Amino acid sequence: MPLSLLRIRHLRNIQNIEIEPGASLNLLWGGNGAGKTSILEAIYLLGRGRSFRGTEIGPLITTGKGETVVFGKLLEEDNKRDIIGISKQLKGTTQIRINGTAVSRLSTLAQTLPLQVLTPKSHEILERGSAYRRRFIDWGVFHVEHNIIKLANNYAKALKQRNAALRRSPQTAFAWDSILIENGTQIEAVRRQYLEKLIPIFSDKTEKLIGRSDITINYRRGWSENESYAESIKRRERDDLNRGFTGTGPHRADIRVEIAGLPVERVVSRGEQKLIIAALYLAQAKIASTESRVKPLILIDDLPAELDEEKRAVFLNELVYLNLQVFITGIDRNSFSAITPSSVFHVKHGEVFREN
Ligand X SMILES: Nc1ncnc2c1ncn2[C@@H]1O[C@H](COP(=O)(O)OP(=O)(O)OP(=O)(O)O)[C@@H](O)[C@H]1O
Using CB under 5 A, list all residues that contact Mg ion.
37
At its nearest, how many Å lie between ligand X and the CB of residue 301?
Answer: 7
334 part of the interface to ligand X, by CB under 6 A: no
Segment near ligand X (CB under 6 A); pick from 55-63, 94-102, 142-150, 279-287: 55-63
| Of 29 and 229, CB closest to ligand X | 29
Distances (CA, A) of 279 to 14, 243, 295, 327, 339: 32, 39, 17, 17, 18
Rounded-to-10 torsion of CA 20, 24, 27, 28:
40
At its nearest, how many Å lie between ligand X and the CB of residue 64?
Answer: 8
At its nearest, how many Å lie between Mg ion and the CB of residue 38?
Answer: 8
User: What residues numbered 126-145 form the site for ligand X, per CB under 6 A?
Assistant: none
Q: Minimal CA–CA distance to 118: which of 296, 320, 332, 274?
A: 274
Distances (CA, A) of 165 to 74, 122, 198: 46, 37, 38
Burial class (CB in 10 A: 0-12, 13-18, 19+), 75: middle
| Of 51 and 248, CB closest to Mg ion | 51
What are φ and ψ of residue 295, in 5° steps? -110, 90
Cα angle at 47 between 5 and 191, to 5 degrees? 140
User: What residues numbered 59-88 form the site for ligand X, per CB under 6 A?
Assistant: 59, 61-63
Q: For ligand X, which residue of 2, 4, 7, 13 counts as binding (CB under 6 A)?
A: 13
What is the torsional sign of CA 13, 15, 17, 23?
positive
Residue 314, Cα to own-chain centre: how many angstroms? 22
Q: For ligand X, which residue of 3, 24, 36, 246 counts as binding (CB under 6 A)?
A: 36
Segment near ligand X (CB under 6 A); pick from 33-41, 112-120, 234-242, 307-315: 33-41
User: What residues numbered 304-333 form the site for ligand X, per CB under 6 A?
Assistant: 331
Report the interface residues with ligand X, using CB under 6 A: 12-13, 30, 32-38, 58-59, 61-63, 331, 347
